[in-house]
Amino acid sequence: LVAFICHGGWIPISARILKDKRATGSLGIKDDLENAGAIWVDEPVVRDGNLISSRVPKDLPAFAAAMVDFLKGHS
């Protein structure tokens, strides 16, 4: 599981693991995500394989639920 919210997307950007992956984050790093090869999606939670991302703190309930579902083995 690799999960990030808001500006946390800078970590997987630096790790160079976002090419052709669907992801989201705050609008402040949208261009950075896209420049790293991610497909930016404006949704509260985006899951692409083991990558789970969210935009802002108001998305935390959906973000947490997505992580719990992933860890429980739900798709």
Catalytic residue among 4, 6, 7, 11: 7
Q: Any idea which residue has 């579902």 for tokens?
A: 69
Check residue 68 and give its pLDDT.
97
Q: Where are the alpha helices (DSSP H) in 1-75?
A: 10-15, 30-35, 60-72
> Is residue 74 annotated as part of the catalytic site, yes or no?
no
Mean pLDDT of 4-18: 97
Segment 29-72, tens digit of pLDDT:
999 999 999 999 999 999 999 999 999 999 999 999 999 999 99
Given the DSSP bridges, would you call strands 39-40 and 45-48 parallel, antiparallel or unpaired?
unpaired
Q: What is the C-alpha to C-alpha distance for residues 39 and 42, in angstroms, rounded to an integer? A: 10
pTM: 0.93
Answer for the pair 44, 59: CB distance below 8 angstroms, yes or no.
yes
